[in-house]
Amino acid sequence: EAQVTQNPRYLITVTGKKLTVTCSQNMNHEYMSWYRQDPGLGLRQIYYSMNVEVTDKGDVPEGYKVSRKEKRNFPLILESPSPNQTSLYFCASSWTGGVQGYTFGSGTRLTVV
Amino acid sequence: SQQGEEDPQALSIQEGENATMNCSYKTSINNLQWYRQNSGRGLVHLILIRSNEREKHSGRLRVTLDTSKKSSSLLITASRAADTASYFCVPYLTDSWGKFQFGAGTQVVVTP
């Protein structure tokens, strides 16, 4: 089944403890992206990647890192999480920058205390 | 802003009724896409309409596009409780390569 898989589904962590949210897709998509969703603010793009080793900042990149060493994987790294990064995170992938539409993962609900 | 703006913000209807929501955007588009999000779940791509199309159907969904008014509408016919979700329109801009922004969405509640 074609899908985008995020892990973990839920995560509670403490301020300052480095964490990684993984994202993997099995559709051979070139394009991958991370979003966060917060009440009243909608979905905001954090980072995106047009292909392997090519990444760029979205609208809210501060406090996050990404890497794209393989086509299928696009992990989101929080080097020193803070409570304002408590959010619902989504990974998405597509052909050709989303012109044909995105496939989204199921989301990761992160709580930083 | 590159995002679409959905209207109304919220819509409450009964099962069997039709639900209509609108989307406005500001610049030239390659296409316009509609997504659905059930509460707390991932977004699902519903339908895409190209800039040279005026209407498109998919099952109970009907999408229209008026590029002269920079607007689109999504009609869900014969609504079901399972249609309860937030709906987002995303204008895919001609030069937006990589940037893909979502608005606040229309929250639809379908009651039995």
Residue B59 near chain A (CB below 8 Å): no
Three-state SS at A71: coil
The reported pLDDT for the residue numbered B1 is 54
* pLDDT, tens digit, 9 for 90 and up, residues B36-79: 999 888 899 999 999 999 999 999 999 999 999 999 999 999 99
Cβ contacts of B33 on chain A, cutoff 8 Å: 101
CA-nearest residue of chain A to B46? A101
By the CB < 8 Å criterion, does A75 face chain B? no
Task: Give how far Cα A25 sits from Cα of A2, A4, B33, Å.
Answer: 8, 4, 21
Report whether pLDDT(A85) > 90: yes
8 Å CB contact between A51 and A41 = no
Q: Which of A4, A45, A109 sits opposite B100 (nearest CB)?
A: A45
Smallest CA–CA separation between B44 and chain A, in Å?
7
Amino acid making up residue B78 = A
Q: Does residue A46 surpass a pLDDT of 90?
A: yes
The pLDDT tens digits of the residues spanning A14-37 come to 999 999 999 999 999 999 999 999
Nearest Cα of chain A lies from the Cα of B67 at a distance, in angstroms, of 17
Partners of A31 on chain B (C-beta within 8 Å) are 98
